[in-house]
Amino acid sequence: MLMPFFKTTNKRVIKRNMTKKNFQMFFIACDVALIIMYSLIFHLSKPMSSTKVTYVPQGSISQIITYLEQKNFSLSPVIDKYLLYFIGLPQSGWIDIGETHLTRGDFLYKLSHSKAAMNSIILVPGETIDVFLYKISKKYSLSYNKLMKYYLKTTPIRDGLIIPETYNIPMGIGERHLILYLINYAWKEHKKISMKIFGEFNKNSWYRYLNIASIIQKEAANADEMPTISSVIYNRLKKRMKLQMDGTLNYGKYSHIRVTPKRIKEDNSKYNTYKYVGLPPYPVSSVSNEAIFAAIFPKKTEYLYFVKSPHGGHTFSRTYKEHIKNIKRLR
């Protein structure tokens, strides 16, 4: 007769134990949730350093996190990846971070919600890096000396590397970041052209083509006569003749300085092709694709001389005697 009582008691004990166990599991889950929440708060509140403006490439969140890690941003490839799924997908392009010291949470938020204010500047073919960087320093309130320091530190050639075109540059970008952007873009474009023509990219050969192209760029009156100007350069180099071209003296800060007999006499640099045989030590300016193609594919001629025509373009000649006649006739 006691059996029903014991059964009821056992059920109550079991129910009580299950309730107690459920409460324990609930509190454990709450503890775990609190630990995760506090860990995330601690993670997001960690201080980190950033440039005021940073570049974010197109791609998946994983690819963007990997890119930023390679650029020395202290991000977690696991935690920050999933946080960005909740905060928002990073925007591609230039991002206005706005400050150099901020929390990780602020940085992740700005990756998803901020855009940089852009301004454009043009590098024209034939312009020197000295003049271009000076214009950048004035337009973007940057240090010319720092821009030039980072440029010379990063590239093996003094000029001719940066691609002439219109650049949309974010306001607030730093000197080092800007130079890296310009140079990385330039290498990518030069490599693309070289691969298309030769199927390979040999830097030493390419430097020589850029050097010749820069002289063509300075000397040619138009794109049509560039291959002919190129032929004169190659013909004179082959004969070990001095190039004797004014354009080589318009290097660096002398980009817009008129070449006079006095200047030719006083300039003792290797850029002075009136005094030294061979090419200048580096390209003398930025170069267009037309000038590069002319340097690679010169026209087949026997020309060794040319003189500027008052009607535009140049008149070419094979001998010095013909050259003198052309000078007298045209001037």
The mean per-residue pLDDT over the stretch 225-229 comes to 98
Residues 261 and 307 in one domain: yes
Output the CA–CA distances (angstroms, integers) from residue 68 to 73, 81, 119, 313, in the order listed: 5, 12, 24, 50
**Is residue 326 assigned to a domain?**
yes
Question: What's the CA gap between 288 and 266, in Å, rounded?
Answer: 30
Query: Where a domain ends, among 81, 113, 145?
Result: 113
Most confident range (mean pLDDT) of 10-19, 74-83, 103-112, 116-125 is 116-125
Confidence of residue 316 (pLDDT cuts 50, 70, 90): very high
35 is a domain residue: no
Residue (of 289, 285, 287, 291) closest to 130 by Cα position: 285
Predicted local distance difference test score (pLDDT) of residue 31: 62
Residue 286 and residue 135 in contact, taking contact as beta carbons nearer than 8 Å: no
Is pLDDT above 70 for 292?
A: yes
Q: Which residues pair with 15 in a beta bridge?
A: none
Cα separation, 141 vs 121, whole angstroms:
13
Most confident of 17-31, 90-104, 255-269: 255-269
Q: For residues 277 and 66, what is the distance between their CA atoms, to the nearest angstrom? A: 50
pLDDT on residue 115: 82
Share of the chain above pLDDT 90, in %: 59
Residue 27 is predicted with a pLDDT of 62
* Predicted confidence band of residue 258 (pLDDT cuts 50, 70, 90): very high
User: Is the same domain home to 187 and 255?
Assistant: no
The reply to whether 53 and 105 lie within a common domain is yes
pLDDT digits (tens, 9 = 90+) for 57-75: 888 888 888 888 888 787 8
| Range among 35-44, 87-96, 317-326 with highest mean pLDDT value | 317-326
Do 206 and 213 touch, CB atoms closer than 8 A? no
In the chain, the percentage of residues whose pLDDT exceeds 70 is 87
* Backbone dihedral region for residue 301 (phi beyond 0: left; psi -120 to 50: alpha; all else: beta): beta
Q: Is residue 17 part of a domain?
A: no
Domain of residue 244: give its range. Answer: 216-330
Structure tokens at 61: 């969140």
Does residue 274 sit in the same domain as residue 289? yes
How does the average pLDDT of the chain come out, rounded? 88
How many structural domains does the chain have?
3
* 314 and 243 co-located in one domain: yes
**171 and 100 together in one domain:** no
| pLDDT interval class at 94 (50, 70, 90) | confident
For residue 9, the model assigns a pLDDT of 62
Q: Could you say which of 113, 142, 163 is where a domain stops?
A: 113
**For range 137-157, the mean pLDDT:** 95
Going from the C-alpha of 306 to that of each of 147, 228, 321, 322, the distances in angstroms are 38, 10, 12, 10
What is residue 116's predicted lDDT score, i.e. its pLDDT?
79
pLDDT value for 232:
98
**22-49 average pLDDT score:** 70
Strand ranges for the chain from DSSP E: 47-49, 53-56, 93-96, 101-103, 118-122, 166-170, 305-308, 314-317
pTM over the 0.85 mark: no
Please tell me whether residues 244 and 300 are part of one structural domain. yes
Domain endpoint, select from 113, 129, 160: 113
Would you say residue 236 lies in a domain? yes
Q: Tell me whether residue 288 is in a domain.
A: yes
Mean per-residue pLDDT for 93-107? 83
- With contact defined as beta carbons under 8 Å apart, do 186 and 253 qualify? no
User: Phi and psi for 59 in degrees, rounded to 5?
Assistant: 150, -175
d(CA 56, CA 79): 19
